[in-house]
A and B are shown apart, each in its own frame.
Chain A
């Protein structure tokens, strides 16, 4: 049973436009969410996170939105750059527990020049 789902395996966006990556979760105990960026044959790089007590967190070109009632979060990248092309993973955890991360299957973002 996939507790964290990224239903879009791939997304293509024109350079300079907005990229929106989506993630849904089923476990209502999750209270901390993270986004990672990954290039092939490398480890994931932490991008941005959000606690369930917030509905938005922003860091430069990256903004994460959390809709707890819908169990949905999204990552917005504005403006998109060719260097943003990578696989993006959404991850979730229960912060009071052993802090195990549950990952989605990832979305391949391609930013076209």
Chain B
């Protein structure tokens, strides 16, 4: 069963701690993306990666970091430098080439207090 998995579904952290969100896909997709959704808003792009060992900043990359050591995995670290880390985080992937559709995982709700 192919798809994108994000774990955990809910995550709680204390302010000042770094936290890493997991994203794994077995769709053999080349590109992967991280988005953030806040209440009443659309999704905003944090980071994206078109190929392994390469990634670029999106619109709101400050306070976040990523790695892409394997095609299947694209973890996102929310650092203590991120001023408003509480949000719903969504990972997506796409095949690339002439296929533009992005497919999303179930998301991780991060709450920082």
Residues of chain A touching chain B, judged by Cβ–Cβ distance below 8 Å, are: 4, 6, 9, 32, 34, 36, 41-46, 49, 89, 91, 93, 95, 98-106
Contact = CB atoms under 8 A, between A and B. Distances in A.
Interface string B18-42: 0000000000000101010000111
Contacts, number: 62
Nearest to A43: B104
B41 A105 contact: yes
B107 A46 contact: no
Interface residues of B, number: 28
A105 to B, nearest CB: 5
**Which label, helix, strand, loop or mixed, suits the secondary structure of the B interface?**
strand
Most chain B CB neighbours (cut-off 10 Å) among A99, A102, A104: A99
Given A4-B42, A93-B100, A105-B42, A100 B107 contact: no
Contacts of A41: 88, 107, 109
A104 B42 contact: yes
- Across the A-B interface, give the 9 residue pairs with the lowest CB-CB distance, nearest first: A43-B104, A103-B42, A103-B43, A105-B42, A44-B104, A43-B106, A43-B107, A46-B101, A43-B105
B50 to A, nearest CB: 6
Given A9-B40, A34-B102, A43-B106, 13 more contacts: A34-B100, A43-B104, A49-B100, A91-B43, A95-B100, A98-B50, A98-B56, A100-B33, A100-B45, A100-B58, A103-B35, A105-B42, A106-B41
Interface string B37-69: 000111111001010000010100000000000
Contacts of A45: 104
Contact of B106 (A32, A42, A102, A103): A42
Most chain A CB neighbours (cut-off 10 Å) among B43, B88, B90, B94: B43
Given A34-B100, A34-B101, A93-B100, A99 B107 contact: no
